[in-house]
A and B are shown apart, each in its own frame.
Chain A
Amino acid sequence: GAGVSQSPSNKVTEKGKDVELRCDPISGHTALYWYRQSLGQGLEFLIYFQGNSAPDKSGLPSDRFSAERTGGSVSTLTIQRTQQEDSAVYLCASSLLGAARDNEQFFGPGTRLTVL
């Protein structure tokens, strides 16, 4: 079946512009996660959705970052007034259940964001 999809795959923007990144999770997966990965670095947790609610927003780096999820499916991550340090690969993942023992997360291919 279809995996997690993300769009766009690449985004180049100018400093100060807003960007919107989209994630389509695997159908039926209740939990959705956003991560950021800078070059040569590990995954940095940003936010987690269980259904449409976000019980954990602790990873959002600043108030320029926001995310929403509608209909328990598609999620968008919005970055306002982008800065060069926002350049990274933004990865979305989904899992069948949230807090579960074998909480395998399935990742999308990511959106590579470059802020000039």
Chain B
Amino acid sequence: RKEVEQDPGPFNVPEGATVAFNCTYSNSASQSFFWYRQDCRKEPKLLMSVYSSGNEDGRFTAQLNRASQYISLLIRDSKLSDSATYLCVVNIWSDGKLIFGQGTTLQVKP
């Protein structure tokens, strides 16, 4: 079983739609959580951190459920520019390294 699992998609949605991605992680010792974004043939970049209380950044909302060990990302009012692969990432502080999921691909259509 992979340490971080995501539905690879692709998710094809029209502009303006709301779309949600989920991710599950296997190691209960995971302590920090992130969503990274990766555009085609580009390097990953941090989109947002995910906190237990949930957090919002404009059209993006991230949630963490520690009991069920899953993380979600909600994108409202999708834009064409949101088309990318979204990587779910967990961190165990004692390890110091990030564990990446396979990524979920989003295609926003006009």
List B contacts of A98 (CB < 8 A). 96
Q: Which of B12-20, B59-67, B70-78, B97-105 contacts A (4 or more CB under 8 A)?
A: B97-105
Instruction: Please give, as numbers and ranges, the residues of chain A lying within 8 Å of B91 by CB-CB distance.
Output: 103
Closest to B93 in A: A99
State in angstroms the CA–CA spacing of A114 and B95 once bound together: 31
0 or 1 for each of B40-71: is its CB under 8 Å from A? (1 = yes): 00111110010000000000000000000000
Q: Are B43 and A108 in contact (CB under 8 A)?
A: yes
User: Which of B43, B99, B100 meets A110, CB within 8 Å?
Assistant: B43
For the residues of A in contact with B, the DSSP-based class is loop
- A42-B87 contact given A104-B46, A110-B43, CB 8 Å threshold: yes
- 8 Å CB contact of B44 from A56, A99, A107: A107
The reply on B32 being an interface residue by CB < 8 A is yes
Contact status B43-A91, CB under 8 Å: yes
Contact B44 A43 (CB under 8 A): yes
Binding site for A on B (CB under 8 A): 31-32, 34, 42-46, 49, 87, 91, 93-103
